[in-house]
Amino acid sequence: MKLYRYDLVDLTRQVLSKFANKVYIDAITAFQHKDAKALKFHSQKFEELIIDIDELLAADDNFLLGTWLESAKNLALNSHEKQQV
């Protein structure tokens, strides 16, 4: 079940990231064309996607920074290395 959850979160992250890339390019295009209304729309959509991705990644411990830091600490060979992490 845990691997299924990881794969589901990762796949969804990838899809949202691809969509965010498109929205970002749309925002850049709107900026270049001096279209303030479109820029505001695409900027808001981009911000919403970033928030959604952040919430999605928080749903699985494997995507949290703390999990990675703890794993790195466990690989430390001595107390000095643990402090560096």
Whole-model pTM over 0.75: no
One pLDDT digit (tens) per residue for the chain, 85 residues: 677 888 999 999 999 999 999 999 999 999 999 999 999 999 999 999 999 999 999 988 888 888 778 888 888 888 887 777 6
What are the b/e assignments for 16-45, b being 16+ CB within 10 Å? beeebeebbebbeebeeeeeeeebeebbeb
